[in-house]
Structure 1
Amino acid sequence: MGTKFRASVITLFLSSLLLHQLVFSESNDGLVRVGLKKFKLDENNRIAAPRLTPQLPDSQKDGVTVRLKNYDNMQYYGEISIGTPPQNFTVHFDTGSSKMWIPSSRCCLSRWCFFARRSKTSKRNKYNSCRSRTYKKNGTSAEIHYDSGSISGNVSQDNVIVGGLTIKNQGFIEATIPPDSAFQSSKFDGVLGLGFKELNDLGVVPVWYNMMNQGLIRNQVFSFRLDRNKKEEEGGELVFGGIDPKHHKGDHTYVPVTGKGHWQFATSNVLINGQSIGVCRFDCSTVVDSGTSLLSGPMTAITMINHELGVNETGLVSHECKSIVEEYGQTILKMLPGEANKICSLIGLCPVNGTKSIEESDDRRTIDVYSMGMCRTCEMVVVWMESRLMKKQTENNILNYVNKLCNSLSRPFESYFVDCSQVSSMPIISFLIGDRNFTLSSKEYIWKEGEGDAEQCISGFFSNVDYYSTWILGDMFMGRYHTVFDYGKSKIGFADAA
């Protein structure tokens, strides 16, 4: 889960009384698969029998597959094991972070802890270091802040088994202070980060790096296929060390990684029904993140998109924006086309040398949209006007359009309801990545909740605080496009999911 980039869209459900048993098999394509079988949990004995996972021989190191579970198209998770004998956990595999954390039992002094891995008040599996012969104490304190929750605890070391591969002496966080309410409603026990080591400030080598360092995989690649069928529990597969050809159709489009930390690359354009909205003239910084359920972007673009989806009456009214349109609207139109900052500098709303980015400030989350300044607001208005000018709209139509957007800015980190009866007529949204437009239809970017008369439809697009901040393509995008994370060649690839 990206430390800065996260939506807080969590729904409470009753926990399932199912555990999963690992079964290993080798297929003809050279990938080793981890099958999951269900069995009902005996309420009289809530302990699953220990399951030893064999180390794979050299002939099977071309790739291993972890099958994922899907909860409501919002949470994807798979099973790992920790310790000797193994203790099983479900984790969210998160490309937006690089740390691993698991809830801790913290009850080594009690003999009852050897017989119970779940408390009466928590439905999470908890790691018990006293039950593991391979546990090593580290003791470094650790804390992680997500937009949707926080955890804290201490670093420990133990063997971690992922897809049949045993990663020895892996450092991870034993979460001794429980995650807050956002994580309490999750279906997974913990998080296993797959981001770059630059995101890890604990001095702990991430799991993915240890897979490579310990020679457990030959190819420095992992790839995701996410299923988007809410009615099916099967959620796709995560392949370490390879690409399963059955997961995609056609060739991948690869783009270089532009920043170590998050899996970041450049998007050249964002389009609605094939027409540019004018926000990526000089490329947009974009992150693909399995830890974000929806799609996130700068307020400038998200407000435009959500307006097209019919959520324009529920946003935030910006009086700064309206005053700029009223006083400078016609002047700006006469200066178009042109760069937003230069135009706003010429009319006196931006300094000649530019302004400090919101992203550079000490705490992005505490900045009120009203205090972002006339400069940033002016730049946003210019982008909106130019987008309509490209469509050869009249002056009155352009000013009316921008005024509507001023009345309905997409509030940061909030999602919006749309009319379910209008979903089929909503536009195609696409991202120009490399030399290909990657399209999303309304059935792919609208999240539906409930059924029948109780059905609600929610826009998959939510905004960050800044007007020109990073785009985040989450599970909605990764479900449509098979995604390859190529660490060895420092690139990311997308192809149609099979």
Structure 2
Amino acid sequence: IACLFHSKYKSSWSSTYTKIGKSCEIHYGSGSIYGYFSQDNVEVGDLVVKDQVFVEATQEGSLTFVLAKFDGILGLGFQEISVGNAVPVWYNMVEQKIVNEEVFSFWLNRDQNAEEGGEIVFGGVDPKHFKGKHTYVPVTQKGYWQFEMGDFLIKNISTGFCEGGCTAIVDSGTSLLAGPTTIVTEINHAIGAEGKVSMECKEVVSQYGDLIWELLIAGVQPNKVCTQLGLCFLNGTRHVSGNIETVVEKENKEGISAMCTACEMTVVWIQHQLKQKKTKDKVLNYVNQLCESLPSPMGESVIDCNSLSNMPNVTFTIGSKAFTLSPEQYILKTGEGIATVCLSGFIALDVPPPRGPLWILGDVFMGVYHTVFDYGNLQLGFAEAA
């Protein structure tokens, strides 16, 4: 159906087309496509990339593509994650020496009334669209544009979850900010977002909250608390749960695994509160409230638009520097007048070790901070957008 509503490529109209014909499929965060490989020259702005291999989509199995205003997807990740090991457009731009520098950069305009929605520069940086100097961090793994992120703060108070570092990727193809359920739950609670009540979470707090508190006070390692309580079992050298799931309660998941996941989250929350030297009653009451703020799976949380002035700033630590987002920047508004709806810019995403915990800094972040993708030096740069 999506093909009926969008512009289409016709190889028969091209004198530079070369048939490949190998079939493939690509799965995205929302939706998937099926098609086959072809080769042709690709024009990007005033640049012509010769002999570019690409996918002709013949089937797009998602409502996302039906409603989308775009006709195609231009991947800018590394070849390491390219489907069929196809050479990305950007690689060919560099190889064919049609760009001045091995750098591309993004400016996303957050002014919905502006004529220009943003700008991507291939081969350089536009000085009109950022203030000051960029803070650079090295790419830690080629695939996505991945780097090491430091602590995450709510209202200038550490959440403690990324004190030892978290993996993060910056991705213009992700609309929102995706982070570990444990942290997104705390954000939801702080901004008054309506979440999903988890019975397992409340059960763990009521039945085991005191014991978790005592074990942590006694110096038991946080990653061993739930095992000692019998809520998690060791499978070789790792817990059965392996990671904190996006939502505690999942269909087709054994009850013991859900309890294990709930326990792991509770330990993180209590441990963080212990560092702030709060009383046990206050801590357990707070953790019980967090259970009610657990985000729905990949869902957007609704916010009261009138409460923006009371919401906290949130801060990402990148390259030892604070990158702060105000409520006006991380809350999305849709509609007008009495039909206005406010949505949290955060969604829950849990990736197990060794690749996780993982943050995805999408358009909500990139709209506030101009982003440089330095391919030549394998680094990322962030500066205040202008």
* TM-score, normalised by the number of residues in structure 1: 0.71
1:462 to 334, 343, 347: 347
Aligned to 2:44: 162
Which aligned pairs between 1:98-247 and structure 2 lie closer than 5 A? 122-247=4-129
Contact 1:318 1:370 in 2 (8 A): no
Aligned to 1:430: 315
1:192 match: secondary structure: coil
Q: Which amino acid aligns with 1:344?
A: C
Q: Which amino acid aligns with 1:325?
A: V
Contact 2:137 2:319 in 1 (8 A): yes
Mapped to 1, the partners of 2:351 and 2:213 lie a distance apart of 24
Mapped to 1, the partners of 2:371 and 2:309 lie a distance apart of 26
Q: Which amino acid aligns with 2:359?
A: W
Matched, 1:412 2:300: no
Mapped to 1, the partners of 2:140 and 2:111 lie a distance apart of 32
CA 359–406 in structure 1, closer or farther in 2 if over 3 Å, else same: closer
Aligned to 1:276: 158
1:202 match: secondary structure: helix
Q: Which amino acid aligns with 2:309?
A: S
CA 135–367 in structure 1, closer or farther in 2 if over 3 Å, else same: farther
Aligned to 2:201: 321
Mapped to 1, the partners of 2:91 and 2:244 lie a distance apart of 29
Aligned to 1:302: 184
Q: Deviations over 1:136-159 (max 9, x none)?
A: 100010111113111111111100
Mapped to 2, the partners of 1:479 and 1:161 lie a distance apart of 26
User: How high is the sequence identity, in percent, across the aligned residues?
Assistant: 50
Mapped to 1, the partners of 2:128 and 2:277 lie a distance apart of 45
CA 338–426 in structure 1, closer or farther in 2 if over 3 Å, else same: farther
Mapped to 1, the partners of 2:41 and 2:58 lie a distance apart of 19
Contact 1:257 1:491 in 2 (8 A): yes
Mapped to 2, the partners of 1:496 and 1:300 lie a distance apart of 28
Mapped to 2, the partners of 1:219 and 1:169 lie a distance apart of 21
Mapped to 1, the partners of 2:60 and 2:351 lie a distance apart of 31
Q: Which amino acid aligns with 2:203?
A: S
1:478 to 363, 366, 369: 366
Mapped to 2, the partners of 1:369 and 1:268 lie a distance apart of 35
Aligned to 1:100: none
Matched, 1:355 2:355: no
2:170 to 288, 310, 314: 288
Q: Which amino acid aligns with 1:260?
A: K
Q: Deviations over 1:438-488 (max 9, x none)?
A: 000000000001111111100111102558641111001001001011111
Aligned to 1:343: 225
Q: Which amino acid aligns with 1:415?
A: E
CA shift, 1:389, in A, is 2.7
Which aligned pairs between 1:373-452 and structure 2 lie closer than 5 A? 373-452=258-337
Q: Deviations over 1:54-101 (max 9, x none)?
A: xxxxxxxxxxxxxxxxxxxxxxxxxxxxxxxxxxxxxxxxxxxxxxxx
The RMSD of aligned alpha carbons is 2.3
1:251 to 120, 133, 137: 133
Larger helix proportion of the pair: 2
Q: 5+ unaligned residues in a row in structure 2: which ranges? A: none
Contact 1:320 1:370 in 2 (8 A): no
Q: Deviations over 1:97-143 (max 9, x none)?
A: xxxxxx98xxxxxxxxxxxxxxxxx3311001111100110001011
Mapped to 2, the partners of 1:132 and 1:303 lie a distance apart of 52
Q: Deviations over 1:14-68 (max 9, x none)?
A: xxxxxxxxxxxxxxxxxxxxxxxxxxxxxxxxxxxxxxxxxxxxxxxxxxxxxxx
CA 356–481 in structure 1, closer or farther in 2 if over 3 Å, else same: farther
Mapped to 1, the partners of 2:252 and 2:313 lie a distance apart of 29
CA 358–347 in structure 1, closer or farther in 2 if over 3 Å, else same: closer
Q: 5+ unaligned residues in a row in structure 1: which ranges? A: 1-102, 105-121
Q: Which has the larger radius of gyration?
A: 1
Number of equivalent positions:
374
Q: Deviations over 1:173-214 (max 9, x none)?
A: 111124521111111110000001011131321101111111
More RCO (CA 8 Å, sep 6+): 2
Mapped to 2, the partners of 1:299 and 1:347 lie a distance apart of 22
* TM-score, normalised by the number of residues in structure 2: 0.91
Could you tell which deviates more after superposition, 172-181 or 218-227? 172-181
CA 466–270 in structure 1, closer or farther in 2 if over 3 Å, else same: same
1:408 match: secondary structure: coil
Contact 1:412 1:465 in 2 (8 A): no
